[in-house]
């Protein structure tokens, strides 16, 4: 399922993809399909634990805004994710995504940047 998700929603193979996952420090950026898939499902011997298989019970978004270019071929959105864990705690995660239309008119992700919300000590 994760492999299909990456193929369907990301433009790997068609465009340069800028992908910065939330919890990535050793391999900060995911330049290709296999690296993106590793982030979603995990790979033994790497820092990837598998975001898509993490035990979240809910996710909600608060979109701060969206910009769509004049031709309608590209859009950018940013805001916050709120991920609910099995213990009921909520984690705030900030995101920026850019989308482009492919040749079939489907929106595909070309920029994926997420980071944990800054909390001063």
| Model confidence pLDDT, tens digit, residues 4-32 | 999 999 999 888 999 998 888 888 999 99
Could you tell me the domains of the chain?
2-116 (3.10.450.50)
| Model confidence pLDDT, tens digit, residues 88-110 | 999 999 999 999 999 999 999 99
Using CA atoms, how far residue 96 sits from 18, 38, 47, 111, in Å, is: 11, 20, 22, 7
Q: Give the per-residue pLDDT at 117.
A: 79
* pLDDT > 90 in the chain, percent: 67
């Amino acid at each position: 399922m994760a492999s299909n998700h990456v193929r369907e929603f990301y433009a790997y193979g068609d465009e340069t993809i800028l992908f910065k996952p939330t919890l990535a420090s050793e391999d900060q950026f995911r330049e290709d399909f296999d690296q993106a898939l590793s982030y979603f499902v995990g790979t033994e011997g790497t820092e990837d634990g598998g975001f898509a298989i993490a035990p979240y019970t809910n996710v909600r978004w608060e979109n701060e805004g969206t910009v769509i270019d004049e031709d309608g071929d590209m859009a950018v959105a940013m805001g916050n994710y709120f991920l609910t864990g099995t213990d009921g705690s909520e984690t705030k995660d900030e995101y920026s995504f850019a989308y482009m239309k492919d040749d079939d008119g489907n929106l595909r992700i070309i920029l994926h940047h997420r980071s944990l919300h800054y909390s001063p000590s």
